[in-house]
Amino acid sequence: MGGDSENPSFKVAPFGRITAGTPTVISATLEGVSAGDVRDMWLHVSTPEGQWRRFAMNVVHAPGGVVGTALFPAAQLDTRGRARLYASLSTRSGEELFTDIQSVLGPSAASTAGAR
Q: Give pLDDT tens digits along the chain (116 positions).
A: 444 445 678 999 998 888 878 899 999 999 999 989 999 999 999 999 999 999 999 999 999 999 999 999 999 999 999 999 999 999 999 999 999 999 999 987 655 554 44
| Residue 43 located in a structural domain | yes
| Residue 60 located in a structural domain | yes
> HSE on the CB side for 93, CA within 13 Å?
8
| Residue 75 located in a structural domain | yes
Number of domains in the chain: 1
pTM: 0.85
Question: What is the pLDDT, as a whole number, of residue 1?
Answer: 47
Domain span holding position 63: 10-16+23-106
43, β-bridge pairs: 55, 87
